[in-house]
Structure 1
């Protein structure tokens, strides 16, 4: 299997300490999608001190790339195990070259149909809410049943397995979406 190099942009802040690399023997373990009733009441507790947003953003960016790398390896292995090395060689880490694509990875099923995969990674539980952009939601509608969200959770635990579940199809059909930010432009006062 080809060696995959994790490509990171320079840190946003000089005091940031990157995550330790995962051992080579870490792999993904698929699980069932958790019940939707547990999502809404599992918001993170508020913090007393002001958060260091630059450090949080840097950590999340690196965590996301690590998750994408694991799913990339997982998808290639699935295709190789199915005897489709031709397709495994075509699996691509789109997010490294096109951050506006609306998905992170381009993979394939064993029949050669494309899979547009968005990876969402957390150190927390499977019920932890995650952010999805309007672009990702729109792409999920465009690609329909070819669009997948892989939700990795409990990342970084002392385990050789990183658990995940998959959601297929338009995001608004498989997720409870709640608006939490707006793009704002000043109104003309004329």
Structure 2
């Protein structure tokens, strides 16, 4: 199956459930997005979707139009690498919108620690928010973002292959899901307000 087909399936899963749709499947022809591993609807604009590649690719996010599949922009995360990015989720908290990227893949169970990269969501062209003009804008070229906080995570009992990441706003925690043959495990990581302070300090120092 072509990477574009995998993307099409993932995008369909983001459509609202509970009703049928006559919309034709959306095929993304983004030359760089060849192994899409994670997707998340923008918390600032539900007509847009963030996506990223799997391991071995650039530490880069791709902003896509949800209805047409058009590429709206690219964001390069400076100072981090794509060890094995598996998922991305929106983190709306404290009146702001953040993105969290799970560098949590571990097919061979070799990693003592995995990472979650936390950053404030870059404001898109579709959002006209005068109060957020200091946030890097997403355009048609690659936007570099240096304000990234990396969280080290270790699992009780040793290494696991974690391929799902979500943010549970009601309980203020990250939820991580493993990929296994016989059973999948779910882990919770409480969100710490100190992380936002640390991220703000990084932003001020850049």
TM class, shorter-length: 0.3 to 0.5
How high is the TM-score relative to the length of structure 1?
0.32
Higher helix share: 1
Which structure has more strand as a fraction of its residues? 2
TM-score (norm 2): 0.31
Structure possessing the higher radius of gyration over alpha carbons: 1
